Amino acid sequence: MERDIQTIFKSQKENSSKVAQMSVKDRMERVMRIDNYLKSDKNLSSLYEALYNDLRKPEVEVIATEVGVVQTQISHLKKNLHKWDRDHRVPTPLPLLGTRSYIRYEPRGVVLILSPWNFPLNLSLVPLVYAIAAGNTVILKPSEISSHTSAYLKKMISELFRLDEVAVVEGDASVATRLLEMPFDHIFFTGSPRVGKIVMGKAAEHLSSVTLELGGKSPAIIDETANIPQIARRLAWAKSVNCGQTCVTPDYVIIHESKKREFIEEFRSAIIELYNRSGSGTEKSPDYCRIISRYHFRRLHSLYQDAVGKGAKLLIGGNFEEEDFFISPTLLENISEDMHIMHEEIFGPLLPVISYNDRSDVREIIGRHPNPLMLYIASREKKNIRYFMDGNPAGGTVINDYMLGYSNPNLPFGGVSNSGIGKSLGFHCFMEFSNKRSVIHRKWGSLDMIYPPYNDRVLWM
Ligand code: NAD
């Protein structure tokens, strides 16, 4: 493996200046190989199988949250890459009269993408298409935990690209560690803040630049003016899709005390409507995913047991079936800060509900945790929306809905401090994979007036 990694890295390094000089048309042709691959019925059915085996993902979700997301980004690239790739003129200040200044976006070189298991196709291919579009060579290491989808990615990429352009290296943390020993020109990591710190530490050894797309505890505030039936239904879906294993899933709810009972009842009805219409249980729904692994099942079970053991009250759900990695959508109240569930990202279908009476308490509760990836606000009162946004930094905010943070390629997506560094999607992602070279081109005139000998000259600047 060690030798393989070195050989691939070396071949990409040698090839990188050739790849960097490719025209926009040639880069787009490479991106479209991925698009076309995903359109073939045969390839799509192998993907359904891989994602079913990894997460029991329903086909509709494979399209909506994996393939569809990649295709949306590719369409966005198709429309915009030629504009982004041009030199970007900037204004010239008076003392530089006679010059022209512009920014030239250039490929970084050889880049590494490390991706997680929760949306294993989407979170590998979205950065990949931007890295290719920006003119880089790429080594992608998908997660060993979603092993079926990782094998699918390896097969796909080896059919579409030469190893010295794009390569997939499968393996666990030890393989990632080997990769991180290489002097990459950029590392794009999606995963936990814990591993993000390791990646940044390793990147520092080569001064490789990094994009860190991390997670954290994203709160969902619901104030006294919110439309409760509507928001409870939206939240029930957001917390259940992919079985709550989504970086933008609301982690916990902070709701105005006056609306708590109504919210709980509406959430209960929504879960029944979405996953249990037949009355035979959420576990029988073909639309409900499973927890990725025994490790994560047990982690979630112990968060639940710890909370209940310390006085949390079970309101909805609480069903755990280890042989099937099934956990039902679960609502808990009477939450206190000494519970582990309030100290780590839950990343599963457990939802603690905390109530407040005074909106200043909300800031205080959120302020106990590092800055989140998303801050959700459900409210019909402008002043409250502003109040909650102003006091609480977050990577992004969605108002009166959930999950949408990752859906508009015109908006930057990413965290702030503990939830991430750098942004992905659209132009922002293209920039992550590009060096912004500043160019000043003198057309006429000169700076002779400031050359020595200075004598008694005093500059007015
Ligand atoms: P993870 O951090 O455990 O793993 C991510 C990647 O890092 C995998 O490829 C893994 O093999 C590799 N890795 C693991 N240990 C490593 C080590 N010691 N050194 C180097 N590499 C190592 O994350 P995960 O469990 O796969 O995913 C869940 C986390 O990812 C959650 O925190 C979630 O919020 C976050 N996430 C963030 C986004 C986002 O876009 N911001 C999207 C999805 C998931």
What is the per-residue pLDDT for 149?
98
- For ligand 1, pick from 195, 369, 373 the residue to mutate: most ligand atoms within 8 Å of CB: 195
**Whether the CB of 191 sits within 6 Å of ligand 1:** yes
The CA distance from 126 to 406, in Å, is 11
What is the per-residue pLDDT for 447?
82
**Mean pLDDT score, 83-100:** 95
For the beta carbon of residue 338, count every other beta carbon within 10 angstroms: 11
Residues annotated catalytic, as ranges: 213
Instruction: Calculate how far, in angstroms, residue 429's C-alpha sits from the geometric centre of ligand 1.
Output: 19
Does position 3 have pLDDT exceeding 90, yes or no? no
Instruction: Give the chain's end-to-end CA distance (angstroms, integer).
Output: 59
Confidence of residue 140 (pLDDT cuts 50, 70, 90): very high
What's the pLDDT tens digit per position in 193-250?
999 999 999 999 999 999 999 999 999 999 999 999 999 999 999 999 999 999 999 9
Tell me the domains of the chain and their CATH numbers. 1-215+419-438 (3.40.605.10), 219-399 (3.40.309.10)
Confidence of residue 92 (pLDDT cuts 50, 70, 90): very high
**Whether the CB of 412 sits within 6 Å of ligand 1:** no
Q: What is the mean pLDDT of the chain?
A: 96
What DSSP designation does 398 have? E
Does position 383 have pLDDT exceeding 60, yes or no? yes
Does position 117 have pLDDT exceeding 80, yes or no? yes
List all residues 6 or more positions away from 239 whose beta carbon is below 8 Å from its beta carbon: 249, 250, 329, 349, 351
What's the pLDDT tens digit per position in 308-365?
999 999 999 999 999 999 999 999 999 999 999 999 999 999 999 999 999 999 999 9
The CA distance from 110 to 184, in Å, is 6
Confidence of residue 460 (pLDDT cuts 50, 70, 90): low
Structure tokens at 59: 């086909």
**Which residue do the tokens 């990769």 mark?**
179
Structure tokens at 178: 């080997």
Q: Percentage of the chain with pLDDT > 90?
A: 94
Greatest CA separation found in the chain?
93
What is the per-residue pLDDT for 405?
86
Instruction: Calculate how far, in angstroms, residue 142's C-alpha sits from the geometric centre of ligand 1.
Output: 10
The CA distance from 376 to 249, in Å, is 10
CA distances, 437 to each of 97, 132, 133, 372, 440 (Å): 21, 18, 17, 32, 10
The CA distance from 403 to 237, in Å, is 10
The CA distance from 158 to 131, in Å, is 17
SS3 295: helix
What residues pair up with 185 in beta bridges, in sequence order? none
Confidence of residue 459 (pLDDT cuts 50, 70, 90): low
The CA distance from 388 to 221, in Å, is 8
What's the pLDDT tens digit per position in 5-26?
999 999 999 999 999 999 999 9
Does position 62 have pLDDT exceeding 90, yes or no? yes
Compute the 3-state secondary structure of the chain and give helix, strand, coil in percent, each to the nearest 5. Answer: 50, 20, 35
Taking a C-beta distance cutoff of 8 angstroms, is the pair 289, 242 a contact? yes
Instruction: Calculate how far, in angstroms, residue 195's C-alpha sits from the geometric centre of ligand 1.
Output: 6
**Whether the CB of 29 sits within 6 Å of ligand 1:** no
List all residues 6 or more positions away from 312 whose beta carbon is below 8 Å from its beta carbon: 332, 333, 334, 335, 336, 339, 341, 352
Q: Quote the strand ranges of 284-413, DSSP E.
A: 313-316, 320-321, 326-327, 330-333, 350-356, 374-378, 396-399
Ligand 1 atom closest to residue 296's alpha carbon, by position in its atom list: 25
Does position 461 have pLDDT exceeding 60, yes or no? no
Confidence of residue 450 (pLDDT cuts 50, 70, 90): confident
Q: Is the alpha carbon torsion for 244, 248, 254, 258 positive or negative?
A: negative
Confidence of residue 431 (pLDDT cuts 50, 70, 90): very high
